[in-house]
């Protein structure tokens, strides 16, 4: 197996339809576009061109040093746990990361209200945007986006697949399948 033809530093493991060569997964993810990659199995049209890891975010230190940012984060993470608590059979770390992506599409990328075909993601998006409107309506959009992005990065850091991130944050939110102090939303 040869090196990636784009970065020339990692092994090229994916056959790229755009370059007709082998490229690494990192370059594949960073260089996707609708015109050349639409029929590729690694391409997801919803996230095409949107680099969620490049959205401005607050660092872990900034989050820990600010009670205001921690409060915003707690509201978002409680909503994520509520989504999980309602449908733990279909919701996992990847699901809540996708929910955050839909919210970032709306608030950061300016996509407006997204059309989501997956019913679990649609319900999750509806639930978290309702929480944002009701509890975080006074927070400037730039600040909200940076906290959402910090939460997104936290999911990426803490997940081992399955529900490891959700199980971790449920220790702080008190919301998890089978136990909650708040009435659960109807999703």
Position with higher pLDDT, 33 vs 86: 86
Is this structure's pTM higher than 0.85? no
Helix axes 93-107, 164-173, angle to 10 degrees: 80
Contact (Cβ atoms closer than 8 angstroms) between residue 103 and residue 136: no
Give the model confidence (pLDDT) of 122-168 as tens digits: 999 999 999 999 999 999 999 999 999 999 999 999 998 899 999 99
Look at residue 11 and give its three-state secondary structure.
strand
Number of H helices, E strands in the chain: 8, 2
Which residues contact residue 152 at a Cβ distance below 8 angstroms, ignoring those fewer than 6 apart? 52, 53, 55, 57, 97, 100, 101, 104
Give the model confidence (pLDDT) of 16-64 as tens digits: 888 889 998 888 877 776 667 767 777 655 445 568 888 999 999 999 9
């Amino acid at each position: 197996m040869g090196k990636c033809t784009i970065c020339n530093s990692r092994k090229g493991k994916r056959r790229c339809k755009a370059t007709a060569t082998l490229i690494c997964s990192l370059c594949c993810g960073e260089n996707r576009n609708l015109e050349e990659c639409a029929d590729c199995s690694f391409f997801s049209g919803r996230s095409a061109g949107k680099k969620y890891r490049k959205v401005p975010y607050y660092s872990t230190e900034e989050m820990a040093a600010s009670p205001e940012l921690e409060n915003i984060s707690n509201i978002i993470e409680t909503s994520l746990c509520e989504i999980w608590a309602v449908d733990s059979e279909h919701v996992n770390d990847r699901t809540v990361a996708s929910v955050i992506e839909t919210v970032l599409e709306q608030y950061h990328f300016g996509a407006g209200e997204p059309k989501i075909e997956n019913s679990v993601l649609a319900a999750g998006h509806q639930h978290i945007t309702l929480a944002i409107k009701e509890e975080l309506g006074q927070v400037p959009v730039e600040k909200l986006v940076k906290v959402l992005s910090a939460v997104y990065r936290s999911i990426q850091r803490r997940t081992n697949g399955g529900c490891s991130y959700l199980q971790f944050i449920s220790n702080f939110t008190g919301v998890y399948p089978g136990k909650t102090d708040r009435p659960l939303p109807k999703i």
